[in-house]
Amino acid sequence: MNDYTEEINRRRTFAIISHPDAGKTTLTEKFLLYGGAINLAGSVKGKATARHAVSDWMEIEKERGISVTSSVLQFEYGGYCINILDTPGHQDFSEDTYRTLMAADSAVMVIDASKGVEAQTRKLFKVCVMRKIPIFTFINKMDRDARDTFDLLDDIEKELGIATCPVNWPIGSGKEFKGVYDREKKCVISYADTEKGTKEGTATEISVAQEDMLRAQIGDGAADKLLEEIDLLDGAGADFNLEAVRAGDLTPVCFGSALTNFGVEIFLKHFLQMTTTPLARKADVGMIEPTENAFSAFVFKIQANMNKAHRDRVAFMRICSGRFDAQMEVRHVQGGKVMRLSQPQQIMADDRKILSEAYAGDIIGVFDPGIFSIGDTLCSPKEKFRYEGIPTFAPEHFARVRQIDTMKRKQFVKGIQQIAQEGAIQIFQEFNTGLEEIIVGVVGVLQFDVLKYRLENEYNVEIRLDSLPYEHIRWIENKDEVDIEKLTGTSDMKKVKDMKGNPLLLFVNPWSVGMTLDRNKGLVLTEFNKN
């Protein structure tokens, strides 16, 4: 225990994930209505006028209408201090989502009721399931025609392999949306299209035991259907089990409509009750409890040039234990240095708020003079432990990249290296051919566009990307025992090296991987970069 236990225990830190357009921004805005937003760190994006300003700092986001960067915002509600981590709503950025999830203790998943789990974002949601953190589902847009409720739940169970437990149950949808049945209170909360943008109105609550009143309120047809569904649900649905929720095996599901502000506060309340205080994190010396230790944090995201007016890099870190104050000295373990963090801040789109203190569970951004890498640990100068690293995803698309104006080699190399350090792309070079050409690997093809766009806009370098046919990458685990020069692979195999000089192989198909292993006895290949 330390003196900050109370502050730390009221923190709740979660990521919000959804397919673009499911209503993540709208829901986040409604959350903010319930609490006074205290800090916005490059936060909510939206299409409506005023909302635009806050997180669409990257032009490409505006052009495509997608959010490709994550941001953080903090607000107070009911005694809790809540940190929301926004994630890019596109599968091509699922690696970024994964990193953001590493910094969160739970996730809110927003699903469009007319669409269910969308094919394009399956990967994104799977990333969340992979991290095994509690997921709370909000099925949105019930004021529009929705898919069958049982089908929607089935979809989540099948697609994501996670059991569902409805907290409430919708009565109709679209024009016929009558409200929701609260399973705990056993009553119906009738739908009222409260004025957009205002707090939830006082909804009528009717106990299902008072059948006459229920029928009068929602009509005979809807009442019959509801009573039948309640029977089905109570008989067949998964029982609520907090332990299963916290283990990421069961997701509580709420239905509502973010736009008309129906069901949002109930969801927020349930969510806050079920979610945990900041969790202990794994380090090489064992688990580090948030309340039992001095300050420690890890870097989960690096972002350059967030604002054209400040051409700099910001490292986002999650505080894992203790209290941070701007004057204190900290040890950057990987860099082997004790230092003061420069300009600790909460980043807003066009503005930055200098921060004087923060606690375990909070996210801070600090000025990065190019020393931090994703996964780095910061702790008290007396200690030297390292938090468990953040794995990198194996790239699945490769391209050769050339700068069009060969005079700009320096800017080109600087730009591409900085973008690679942020983890947005991975870069490789030909292995011992003496060629200086750079090969870029990405997890999702949209990252190529982002690279091109950013090099042009931030570094003034035009590039050409020639796509390469490789889809499979393997690092050589026993590189010290293998003579890379003599390695014989298939004709379509390519030898390259990463920025640290580690050799690796690119293949067009899995068959070639197998052939290469057969031809080179003793060779050990791995899909993960452990170097």
Q: Footprint of ligand G4P on this chain (CB under 6 A)?
A: 18, 20-26, 46-48, 89, 140-141, 143-144, 257-259
Nearer to ligand G4P, 24 or 99 (CB): 24
The terminus-to-terminus CA distance of the chain in angstroms comes to 36
Nearer to ligand G4P, 266 or 427 (CB): 266
> d(Cα 123, Cα 182) in Å, to the nearest integer?
31
Nearer to ligand G4P, 115 or 144 (CB): 144
Residue 86 CB, shortest distance to ligand G4P, in Å, is 9
Nearer to ligand G4P, 142 or 525 (CB): 142
Residue among 64, 61, 162, 181 at smallest CA distance from 117: 162
Residue 280 CB, shortest distance to ligand G4P, in Å, is 31
303 to 137, 182, 316: CA distances (angstroms): 29, 43, 8
Nearer to ligand G4P, 175 or 382 (CB): 175
Angle at alpha carbon of residue 14, lines to 268 and 292, rounded to 5°: 115
| Type of residue at 162 | I
> d(Cα 192, Cα 179) in Å, to the nearest integer?
8
Nearer to ligand G4P, 22 or 506 (CB): 22
Q: Dump strand ranges (E) for 309-454.
A: 313-321, 323-325, 329-332, 337-340, 345-347, 352-354, 357-359, 363-367, 377-379, 397-403, 426-430, 438-442
Residue 136 CB, shortest distance to ligand G4P, in Å, is 16
Question: Which pairs with CB-CB distance under 8 Å and at least 24 residues apart come from 515-523?
Answer: 515/489, 515/490, 516/487, 516/488, 516/489, 516/490, 519/488, 519/489, 520/482, 520/487, 520/488, 520/489, 522/478, 522/481, 522/482, 523/476, 523/478, 523/482, 523/487
Nearer to ligand G4P, 50 or 435 (CB): 50
Angle at alpha carbon of residue 511, lines to 508 and 515, rounded to 5°: 110
Q: How far is C-alpha 238 from the geometric centre of its chain's CA atoms?
A: 27
Residue 139 CB, shortest distance to ligand G4P, in Å, is 10
Nearer to ligand G4P, 63 or 456 (CB): 63
Residue 37 CB, shortest distance to ligand G4P, in Å, is 16
DSSP letter at 391? Answer: P
Residue 135 CB, shortest distance to ligand G4P, in Å, is 16
For residue 506, give the H/E element and its range: strand 503-507
Residue 61 CB, shortest distance to ligand G4P, in Å, is 11
Nearer to ligand G4P, 21 or 176 (CB): 21
Collapsed DSSP state (helix, strand, coil) of residue 31: helix
Nearer to ligand G4P, 23 or 361 (CB): 23
Collapsed DSSP state (helix, strand, coil) of residue 329: strand
DSSP3 helix / strand / coil % (the chain, rounded to 5): 30, 30, 40
Nearer to ligand G4P, 160 or 250 (CB): 160
Strand partners for 438: 401, 429
Phi then psi for 453, rounded to 5 degrees? Answer: -60, -45
Identify the sign of the CA torsion 131, 134, 136, 137: positive
Residue 406 CB, shortest distance to ligand G4P, in Å, is 41
Beta carbons within 8 Å of 283's beta carbon, 6+ residues apart = 296, 377, 385, 386, 387, 388
Residue 484 CB, shortest distance to ligand G4P, in Å, is 46
Residue among 63, 127, 65, 119 at smallest CA distance from 99: 127
Residue 282 CB, shortest distance to ligand G4P, in Å, is 32
Nearer to ligand G4P, 28 or 321 (CB): 28
Residue 258 CB, shortest distance to ligand G4P, in Å, is 4
Nearer to ligand G4P, 168 or 257 (CB): 257
Residue 260 CB, shortest distance to ligand G4P, in Å, is 6
Residue 333 CB, shortest distance to ligand G4P, in Å, is 36
Quickly tell me which residue has 């794995």 as its tokens.
Answer: 391
Whether residue 510 contacts residue 483, with contact meaning beta carbons closer than 8 Å, is answered with no
| Helix boundaries (H) for 237-380 | 242-246, 264-274
